[in-house]
Structure formats: C-alpha cells, structure tokens
Amino acid sequence: MNLALDIFTVSAVSAGALFFLAGTVGLLRFPDSLTRLHALTKVDNLGLGLVVLGLLPQTNGLFGALKLVSIWLLVQLSGAIVTQLIAGTVRRRGSNG
Amino acid sequence: MISFLLGAAGFVLMTVALALVVILRRPAEVDHMMAAQLLGTGGGAILLLLATATETPPIVDVALLLALFASFAAVAFVRSAPGQESEV
Amino acid sequence: MTIFAVFDIGLVVLILGIAVSTIAARDAFAAVIGFVVYGLLLSIAWVRLAAVDVALTEAAIGGGMTGMLMLGAVARLRFAGGNDISISLPVRFATAVLCALVAAGLAIAVLSPPDAIPTLAPMVMENLAQSGLGNPVAGVLFVYRALDTLLEKVVLILALLGVWSLAPDSVWGGIPGLRVYARRSSTLTFLAQLLPPVGIVVAIYMCWVGAKEPGGAFQGGTVLAAMWLLVMIAGLKRVPSIGQPWLRPLLVVGPVIFLAIGLAGMVLANAFLAYPPGYAKPLIVAVEVALTLSIGVALGLLAAGPLEQAQQQ
Amino acid sequence: MEVSSVMNSSEEQGRPAEPPVTGTGILGSAISRAAGFFAFWLALTDANSGDLAAGLAAAVAATWASLRLMPAEQWNLNPVKLARFTLHFLRQSIVAGTDVALRALDPRLSLRPGYVVYQAQLPPGTKRNAFCAVMSLLPGTLPCGSAEGNGLTIHCLDVAAPVVEQLAAEEALFLRTFGGAQRND
C-alpha cells in the first residue's frame, strides 16, 4: 500500500516537473509575448497541479491535503485573472510590447 | 522519498531559474511582468516539495503567502507599467 | 555533496544573479521587477535557513509591499519627468563606493563570526512554556523584547506621518494620491472581488497562528494592507481621506492597547510591559489582533502615498 | 453605488437590469460563502478544535467583505451539474496544458497565433468575468479585453482551429450550469 502511494507520488511529481520544463521551453521558443503567456499560465498551472496531486498521499490527514489543494486553487484562480490583465496590456501596445 | 522530493524541488528551481533568465533578458516590459506569476507557480511548487521533504508544515504557509503576494505584485506591475497613464 | 547542498548552491547562484541584474538594470521599472523577484526568491532561502517566520515576512514585505512602494516612486518619477535627469559620474561613483562599503562590512561580519556565538536561545526555549506560547519568535517579540516590538510599531506610524507631511498645506486632511488602474477593467474588478475575502481569512490565520507557529501580526497586517490596496487600485472602493473618523483610531489601536497593557503591567506584574502570571497568552493574542489592524491600515496608507487632493465634501 | 461606477461606458450600455435578489437569496449566498470560507479556515488550521472560534470570526469577516465587494446574485446552482462542469473543466485544463507543452516541445513549433473576436451571450458582469477566467484556462485561448458590441477579443495559439465554435459550446455548458443571465435589452 505504502509502496503504491510512493510510486504514485513519484510519477505525479515527475510529470509535474516535466511540465515546468516544458513551460520554460515554451518561454524560450515561442515567438511573441502573448504566446509566451499561454505557455506560462497553462503549462505551469498544470505542473503545480500535478505536484500537489503527487504530494497528497504524503500529507497527514484530509485537511492537510485540502490545504494543498486550496493553495493550488488560489494560484490557478489568480493566475487565470492576472494573465488576462497582462494580455490586455500586450494587446493595447502591439504584440512586440 | 526525501531525496526524490528534494531532487524534484531542485529540478523545478532550475526550470524557474532558466525561465527567469529568459524573461528578464527580453527587452519587452510585458515579458518582465510575467516574472511574479512564474514565482507564484514555480516557487509554490518548490516550497510545497520542501515542506513535504523536510516534514515542516509551516513551510506550506510560506507557499500560501507567496501565491497571494505574487498575484498582488503582478497587478501592481500591470498598473504601473510605463505608458499606462497616457491611455486614460 | 548532499542533495541539500546542491539545491542551496543553485538557489544562492540564482539569487546572486537576480541581484546583479537588478543593480545593472538601466530602467527603473525593470529594476523594481528584479527587486520583487529577488524578495520572493529570498523567502525560499529563509525557508532553507529554517527561519520560516522571516520567510513569511520576506514574501509579504519584500515581495509585495516594498515592490508596491517602489513602483509608486517609479511612477511618480516618470510623471515628474525624473527619468530624464542624468546623474553625474561622481554621484554614481560615490553611491557605488558607499554600497560596496556596506556590503563589505556585512560580508566581514557574516564571514568571521566569533568562536562561541553568543546566544540566549536555550534560555528562551527553557522559559517559553511560562508564557503559554508555542512559537519562540513570538515569545521573544512579545515577552523578552516587547519594548522593541512596541517601538517598531510606533516607528511605522512616524513613517506614515513623514509621508503625509510631504503634502502641501492646502490638501491637509485630504486624499492620498494612490494611482488607481488607468482603465476601468472588469477583469481587475473581478480579482478585487474574489481575492480580498480569501486574503482576510489568510490574514486572520496568520495573526492567530502566530502564537504557536510561525506567523504573527506583521505578516497578517501586510496581507490586509495588500488586499485593501487591491480593492482601491481596482476602483471598487475610494481611497479614504485621512480625515475619516474611523481611520485614525484604527491606525493607533494596536500601539495604544500594547501601551495600555504595558502600563497595567507596572501595577499588576511590577514591571512595564510585564504580563501578570497566567494571563500572558490571552493578552499577547489581544495585542496581536489590534496590531494586525493597525499595521494593515498603516502599510496601506504608506503605499497610497502623500496627500494630493483636498477632501471632497 | 461604487461598484457600478467601475464599469466603463460601453459596458454600462450592455449591462442589463439585474434580476432582483430576494432577501432569502442574499441570506442563501451569505451562508454558502461563509461555509466556503470556514472550510478554507479548517484546511489552514488542520481543523484544530482550539482554533474554531477564531475561524468563525474569520468566516464572518470574509463574508462581510465578500458581500460588500460582490453583491449577491442569482446563481441557480445544481450540485450534479456543478460536479459535471468541474470535471469537464479539469479535463479541459489538462488538455490545455498538454497542448501547449507539446507545441513547445515540437521541433516544428506549430503555431498560428492571432486574434479572434467572440460574441459572448453573457452580458458584462460577474458571470462573464468568471467565464473569461475559465476561458483563459481552456486549450489555446486567452481573453485579452472587450471588443465591439458584446465581443471579447481572444488570443489563440492556432487561428485555423474552430475557436469560435468551441467557445460557443463552452459558453452553452457554462450557461446550463450556472443559470443563464440572458440579455434582456
């Protein structure tokens, strides 16, 4: 049982870390600010989500797990809104900023 | 398990560092504004991994504040970006 | 080399790199962003140094509030055409020398510690139980160094008075010149509707948990200030004039209650700022709650800046 | 009073008369928000029994602020529909992250970025803001401001994809889940 949970943690956290890497590659390769914003929001949010998912079995108790999930929700929600603000700034100035 | 979580934290730190270098070296100011958001997600992931690896639950609170203030900082950046006041 | 060491070295290299790029940035806006990133990264470094209390403060003050203050200064400079002022070479040189001296002094102090580091930590841990607190940092702040903590809060109010006194007489009692978001944005409004209630819960949690675990009035107050500023920037609530009847009592309630409990201690516990036995924890929690409110209002008004408009009737 | 002044002029014209919210409606949303904040407090404090009183105070303070900042609205929530929407949204945001990640790692870098104007059914207001937040986590779309009429300017990673049709389907699902605030002007 413990081993199964550990395997779950290792695979989910690894997947999350890979998404962070992919997000960075996107920031490096994408041609303009707005496409880079896509990379930052969607990929990194998924990365954090997978890391949180992987850490859930390692927390003590239901509420510890809930705390991690609520941090992820907070990041996801504010990230979704802040990204639109930055995107609006980019659009008003033209894509090259 | 502990060394795996630490390794993962180190890996995420490396990707965040690379992304910061990429973002802050670009000339466009809007790219710089993404830095705070990057630390909200990446820094949050690093702290949560550290909290579990070192079994120190209060570190989770640091991640919480980091998330809150990263988005606050991003709003402040957008608000005070140069050229904003000319568009009222 | 352990995996901890690899992580720490990577973190330090990154922080140094960000610090250098902040110093080297030619543009003030880019430099402030570098500084905020530096503050957020530093909070991870404090976590690695097992100073979670400091990490919380750094994330709140270094990452959020100082950045906000400096962005205000940058915007003000730009408005006044300050970006065009060229600084002469001797001034730059003198600044660089002064900064280098400070850095060198700090480096010497850190790199050559005395053989036996003087510490009172074991004594604090031995006697912490008497106060009923679980967090040694709160114990030091409110039991052993209570006077420092009290004065620190008074300094915050003095700083605010300093900012207010920059205003011309004609607008005294008026409204701070916080620049609200230039275009009314429903996106920002939405964030300012959703985030502050969550922030209030976090602020009360920070203040409450400070008695037994890392946290406290300063972290909680900073969260409150940030949420208040967010609501004002989005234009959901107006920036209040400093003549508002509710504002000044909130500003001083923390230090006043702290002082009152301190004076009562002279009668009940035979010393200024001493707590009667058995009542230490509830009294400290009461002080922390009042301080959270006062710090929140003071930091919010500090970031809102000097007065610019006369009070509207 | 202060809330309505936030909307800019073009948004104000498109803003329909809010359906009147009854006293029980306000009470209902106050209770559900307070329950949410209290649950958040329980998560923060690990449901420690010594912290419950402070948690009640926190929930009351947060609910008060929340009602002042965002007045109660009619959200016809049905738990089953809500759960279905949440699952759909989670699946879509995983698809979105994977989509961008694969594009970033693809050696050919298959991107056709550009803007699309989407005519939203939702009038400006809280529900549309919530839908915009959902949109920014959907695959390939990122709202970046309002356009002519009731339009939203959307930045897409691939303009050749049927973005408008996808968004219309998402909005229809959103409307079915959260109750349709139809335009009544």
Number of other residues whose CB lies within 10 A of the CB of residue C113: 8
Q: Reply yes or no on whether the pLDDT at B84 is more than 90.
A: no
Kindly tell me if the per-residue pLDDT of B88 is higher than 70: no
Q: Cα separation of B9 and C120, whole Å?
A: 34
What's the pLDDT score for residue D6? 37
D11 CB near a chain A CB, below 8 Å? Answer: no
Q: Which of B18, B31, B52 sits opposite A24 (nearest CB)?
A: B18
Kindly report the average pLDDT of chain B as a whole number.
87
Q: How far apart are CA A34 and CA C230, in angstroms?
A: 24
Identify all chain C residues contacting A84, using CB atoms and an 8 Å cutoff.
187
Q: So what's the pLDDT on residue D183? A: 45
Task: Compute the nearest-CA separation of C221 from chain A (Å).
Answer: 20
Kindly give the interhelix angle for C28-48 and B29-53, rounded to the nearest 10 degrees. 0
Task: Give the closest residue to C204 by CA, choosing from D40, D154, D86.
Answer: D40
Q: What is the pLDDT of residue D113?
A: 87
Does residue A15 belong to the interface with chain D, where contact is any CB pair within 8 Å? no
* Residue position matching structure tokens 């870390």: A17
pLDDT given for residue B12 in this prediction: 95
| Tokens representing residue A78 in the block | 């504010």
| pLDDT, tens digit, 9 for 90 and up, residues B23-59 | 888 888 888 888 988 999 999 999 999 999 988 889 9
Indicate yes or no: CB of D69 within 8 angstroms of CB of C236. yes
Domain layout of chain C by residue ranges:
1-88, 137-313
In 3D, which of C275, D143, C236 has the Cα closest to residue A84? D143
* Domain hosting residue A63, numbered range: 2-93
Considering only CB atoms, which chain B residues are within 8 Å of A28?
18-19, 22
User: What ipTM goes with this model?
Assistant: 0.88
Secondary structure, 3-state, chain C: CCHHHHHHHHHHHHHHHHHHHHHHCCCHHHHHHHHHHHHHHHHHHHHHCCCHHHHHHHHHHHHHHHHHHHHHHHHHHHHCCHHHCCCCHHHHHHHHHHHHHHHHHHHHHHHCCCCCCCCCHHHHHHHHHHHCCCCHHHHHHHHHCHHHHHHHHHHHHHHHHHHHCCCCHHHCCCEECCCCCCCCCHHHHHHHHHHHHHHHHHHHHHHHHCCCCCCCHHHHHHHHHHHHHHHHHCCCCCCCCCCCCCHHHHHHHHHHHHHHHHHHHHHHCCCCCCCCCCCHHHHHHHHHHHHHHHHHHHHHHHHHCCEEECCCC
Neighbours of C275 (CB within 10 A): 25
Low-confidence ranges of chain C (pLDDT < 50): 313
Flag if B34 and A20 touch (Cβ within 8 Å): no
Q: Would you give per-residue pLDDT tens digits along chain D (185 residues)?
A: 333 333 333 333 344 445 556 667 788 888 888 999 999 999 999 888 888 989 999 999 999 999 888 887 766 677 788 888 889 888 988 999 999 999 888 888 778 888 888 888 888 888 888 888 888 888 888 888 877 777 888 888 888 888 888 888 888 888 888 876 544 43
Total tally of structural domains belonging to chain A: 1
For tokens 């002094």, name the residue. Answer: C105
One-letter amino acid for residue C87 of the chain: I
**CB-based contacts of D171: which residues, under 8 Å, 6+ apart?**
D120, D121, D122, D131
Res A96: pLDDT: 43
A contact chains, 3+ CB pairs < 8 A: B, C, D
Residues of D in contact with C219 (CB under 8 A): none
Pairwise CB contact (< 8 Å): B60 & A23: no
Q: C-alpha angle C107/C110/C111, rounded to 5°?
A: 80
Q: Give the integer Cα–Cα distance in Å for B6 and C7.
A: 8
pLDDT tens-digit series, residues A73-93: 999 999 999 999 888 888 877
Q: Which residues of C touch A88 (CB under 8 A)?
A: 185, 187
